[in-house]
Amino acid sequence: MVDLKKKIKEMLAEDIASGDITSNALLKSSEKARGVIVAKQACVLAGAVETVSVFSENGVFSEILVEDGSSVKPGMEVIRVEGTAKKIFGAERVALNLLMRMSGIATATKEMVEKARGRNPKIRVSATRKTAPLLTYLDKRAVIIAGGEPHRYNLSEQILIKVNHLKIVGSIEKAVKMAKATNKGKVEVEVAEVEDVVPAAQAGADIILLDNMTPSQVRRAVRLLERKKLRDKVLLEASGGITLKNIGDFAATGVDVVSSSYMTMKAPAIDMGMKITGKA
């Protein structure tokens, strides 16, 4: 379980460091203010809960005006804050950074889900483990808010036999057998060649990840399993190079899941800012 409170404390400590020298020079400790966080772009909001936690950790009252998962228009006020001005400014950057990043991920995720389900209403869109270190939980929470799935949070969650594992172990069959013997739940195996889907399915893999294939190669893999009457025995996941531009083509191939790092590694943060509305 992620200790979010601890993470937020570390984030605030990193930004405040030895003290906010600007606020210390200009403001009295007793001066109070109120303000609002405003979205400057259209987006799917994510991170409102975490933003409130940041302000709270720094002794500032805040109120969510727009719930996570909502569609936000430019100019909308999403969070209200009130408290000691120094404390508000001490939490401002961390709060905004989280809200901007998570909303960017959520916005990209929703776009990907909509494009994928436009071609395949049953497809599942999953985010890979390519996230910012120490922010995996928050990145994946943003994905979930927008209708995506988290895939694995960490290496202990599910067995995923990668091509590099196979180069050491020697074969798909041997690797799957060894993994199954651990009784650690479902076993997923990554294959880079269309022909490898059959031995993977025959070995008893629960999930086959089709890695860095084109949509036409993925379709061939699906048909090959169908011809061998193995398609219903495995879950098929397409991954590698999947973006907003091509996710629909991959979704239409007949796989069950498409996974991507686009939303967590390439989606831009949403522009937001805090506006002080007056003294409290």
**Residues carrying an active site annotation:** 93, 130, 162, 190, 211
Contacts of 5 (CB under 8 A, 6+ apart): 53, 57
The answer to whether 186 and 159 have CB atoms below 8 angstroms apart is yes
Residue 44, C-beta contacts closer than 8 angstroms, at least 6 positions apart: 69, 70, 71, 72, 103, 106, 107, 109, 110, 145, 146
Is residue 83 within 8 A of residue 54, CB to CB? The reply is no
Q: Please, which residues bridge with residue 35 across strands?
A: 81, 276
Sign of the CA dihedral with 82 first, then 83, 89, and 91 last? negative
Q: SS3 of 190, please?
A: strand
For 31, the token pair is 């001066």
Q: Say if residues 205 and 189 touch (Cβ distance below 8 Å).
A: yes
> Which whole-number Å values give the CA distances from 47 to 6, 53, 68, 187, in the listed order?
17, 10, 7, 32
DSSP SS3 for 280: coil
CA 88 to chain CA mean position, Å: 28
Burial class (CB in 10 A: 0-12, 13-18, 19+), 262: buried
